Amino acid sequence: MLSLKNINVTMGRASPLERRVLNNLNLNVEMGEFVILIGGNGAGKSTLFNIISGITPIDSGSIILDKTEITSWGTEKRAPLIAKVLQDPRIATISNMTIEENLSFALKRGQCRGFALHASKDRRTLFREKLACLGMGLENRLNELTGNLSGGQRQALSLIMALMNDSKVLLLDEITAALDPHMAELIMELTARIVQEEKRTTLMITHNISHMHQYGHRTL
C-alpha cells in the first residue's frame, strides 16, 4: 500500500554538517499494518516521517501510495491522504480555539478551510460520536477552549483530529513521550483500538520497548 523505493536524503547539503540521513531506503507497508520504528537520536526516524508527509524533499527515489506515485506532491496535496500525530499536542491543537473549532479545521484538512460550517448540526453530531469513543467526556465540552485541557486530553483530541478524514496512512511520532505513565498507557490503548477498528495503516516512532512488543505488527 505504501512503498518507498531507493530513498536517499541528505541534510545540510554543501555545508560542513552535510550527511546522508537515509541511504537507499526501501520500505513496504501493507494496508492496515501497524509498524513500529525504533532507533537512536539522529537515526532518521523523523526524517522518514517528513518525507512521507512531504515536508522534507528527497534526493532520489520514489514514494508510492495505493499504486499512485506521490513523490512530487507537496504537503497540501498529500494532507488528505497522510495524517500525523506529534509528540507535543500543543503543536497540533490551537489553544485559543474551542474543541469544536479544532475538529472543524481537522475535518477540512487538505481543503479550503473556513468557519462557515462550524455550527453545523451534522458536524456536531459527528464530533460528539468521535469524541465519545475516548471515554473522557470531551463530547460534552465542544465549546471549551482547547487550552483548558490537560496534556493527555489534548493528545487524545489530536488523535481524533488526525482520524477525522479517511486518510490512507497515520504517522505517530512519539505520541506518549510528553505524558505521564498512566496517561501514556491510556492513549496507546485508545490509539491501538481506534487504528484496529478503522484498519488504518500506521507507522509509529517510539522509544518505549513495551509498546513495541504490545502494539506493533512488526518492528523496524
One digit per residue, pLDDT tens: the chain, 220 residues?
Answer: 899 999 999 988 888 888 999 999 999 999 999 999 999 888 899 999 999 999 999 999 999 999 999 999 999 999 999 999 998 888 889 999 999 999 998 887 655 444 444 457 788 999 999 999 888 999 999 999 999 999 999 999 999 999 888 899 999 999 998 888 888 888 899 889 888 888 899 999 998 888 888 888 999 9
Nearest to 75 by CA among 56, 102, 47: 56
Give the C-alpha distances (Å, rounded to integers) separating 64 from 38, 90, 186: 23, 31, 33
The secondary structure of residue 72, as a DSSP letter, is T
Q: Phi/psi of residue 127, each to 5°?
A: -60, -45
d(CA 115, CA 21): 41
Among the listed residues 44, 85, 53, 60, the one whose alpha carbon sits nearest the alpha carbon of residue 6: 60
Work out the angle at residue 89's Cα, subtended by the Cα atoms of residues 158 and 201, and round it to the nearest 5 degrees: 45
